[in-house]
């Protein structure tokens, strides 16, 4: 949540939770691709729990910290939590930061609160097309011969060497720290409580699959879905569904810091009339009236790999073309 664009949101969240929001302006792609944003988020977290000398705040205990965000910020917050868990799994339990060994423990984080999360940079799952009529996000192009998105040419795009994705190298597009949807359920064992809100948007499927995997890994998940709502609806206070989702998110943050989030086997979908229908967390992402396939782990992995493969192939072609053009230019300069 950028400190300028999201100030009304962070202010409201601070007011409703009685806490403080540390909003991070992280580096952006394509100028600064992966892992720039993740490193910025990591440094921001370290600065909270172990402030450098001369800082204006006292250390904040990890147990009082919620990672939160919407859209790509939600994906980044999720990646940060996964990064901490991965470091711990590798046996790394401290980081040298400003001359101090700072303990890191993913299980000490109070929680993760994400709305309309972008957890799959490759945009592989069916809802990116199925929910076009409800969403403000344009669907991905089916033209696999051109990089996406098609920005006007300028000093930073197309990149040199050519890159198909703005955020990362194509070979990295389904790396779990780029697209947390690609993380296996075992990667989430022991993770902090998680709140997920989503509408009928392009990112619906990835949010559901993510919540299901957390539940299957034994995690505590609050799934809060809203029928017919577009991307980032929870940031729209003029809408009843948006207000409700935001209030639910704030309540989760308070309960997570208190350590009082109650585990449940059910999530919910709220319709336009405010009526709530419960759904088993284990059935999220599975076949229903709108979704015609079961998005089990095998199918999700196949869809992710399909999207990675065409990007890798196209990126290789683009770089070969650039290499051939460079050789041709050098030959002309040498008079050959």
- Ramachandran quadrant class, 328 (left: phi over 0; alpha: psi -120 to 50; beta: rest): alpha
What are the φ and ψ backbone dihedral angles of 19, each rounded to 5 degrees? -115, -160
Please say whether the beta carbons of 77 and 67 come within 8 A: yes
Q: How far apart are CA 224 and CA 297, in angstroms?
A: 22
- Whether residue 311 contacts residue 170, with contact meaning beta carbons closer than 8 Å, is answered with yes
Dist. CA 69–CA 175, nearest whole Å: 20
127 as an active site residue: the answer is: no
* CA within 13 Å, CB half, 233: 28
Helix-strand-coil split of the chain, %, nearest 5:
40, 10, 45
Which candidate in 68, 71, 79, 202 is catalytic?
71
The pair of three-digit structure tokens given for residue 265, joined into one six-digit string = 């086997």
Structure tokens at 19: 């806490």
Taking the CB of residue 267, how many other CB atoms lie within 10 A of it? 22
Contact between 109 and 65 (Cβ < 8 Å): yes
d(CA 79, CA 93): 17
Counting DSSP H helices and E strands in the chain, the numbers are: 7, 8
- Apex CA 272: angle with CA 269 and CA 277, to 5°? 25
Residue 226: strand, helix, or coil: strand
Beta strands in 227-327 (DSSP E): 266-270, 276-280
Catalytic amino acids?
A: 71
């Amino acid at each position: 949540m950028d400190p300028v664009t999201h100030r009304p949101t962070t202010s409201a969240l601070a007011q409703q939770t009685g806490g403080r929001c540390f909003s991070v302006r992280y580096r952006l792609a394509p100028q600064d691709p992966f892992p720039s944003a993740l490193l910025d988020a990591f440094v921001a977290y370290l600065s909270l729990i172990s402030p450098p000398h001369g800082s204006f705040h006292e250390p904040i205990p990890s147990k009082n910290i919620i990672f939160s965000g919407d859209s790509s910020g939600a994906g980044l917050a999720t990646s940060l939590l996964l990064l901490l868990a991965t470091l711990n799994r590798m046996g790394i339990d401290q980081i040298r930061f400003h001359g101090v060994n700072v303990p890191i423990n993913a299980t000490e984080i109070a929680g993760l609160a994400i709305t309309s999360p972008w957890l799959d940079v490759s945009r592989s799952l069916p809802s990116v097309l199925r929910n076009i009529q409800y969403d403000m996000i344009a669907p991905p192009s089916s033209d696999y011969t051109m990089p996406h998105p098609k920005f006007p040419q300028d000093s930073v795009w197309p990149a040199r060497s050519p890159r198909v994705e703005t955020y990362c190298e194509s070979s990295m597009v389904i790396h779990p720290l780029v697209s947390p949807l690609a993380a296996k359920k075992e990667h989430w064992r022991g993770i902090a409580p998680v709140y997920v809100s989503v509408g009928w948007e392009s990112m619906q499927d990835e949010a559901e699959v993510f919540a299901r995997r957390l539940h299957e890994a034994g995690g505590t998940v609050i799934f809060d879905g809203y029928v017919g709502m577009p991307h980032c609806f929870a940031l729209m206070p003029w809408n009843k569904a948006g207000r409700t989702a935001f209030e639910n998110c704030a309540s989760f943050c308070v309960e997570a810091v208190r350590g009082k989030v109650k585990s449940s086997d059910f999530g919910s979908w709220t319709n336009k009339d405010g009526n709530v229908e419960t759904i088993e967390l284990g059935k999220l992402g599975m076949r229903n009236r709108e979704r015609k396939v079961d998005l089990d782990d095998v199918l999700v992995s196949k869809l992710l790999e399909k999207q990675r493969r065409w990007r890798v192939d196209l990126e290789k072609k683009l770089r070969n073309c650039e290499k051939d053009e460079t050789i041709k230019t050098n030959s002309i300069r040498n008079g050959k």
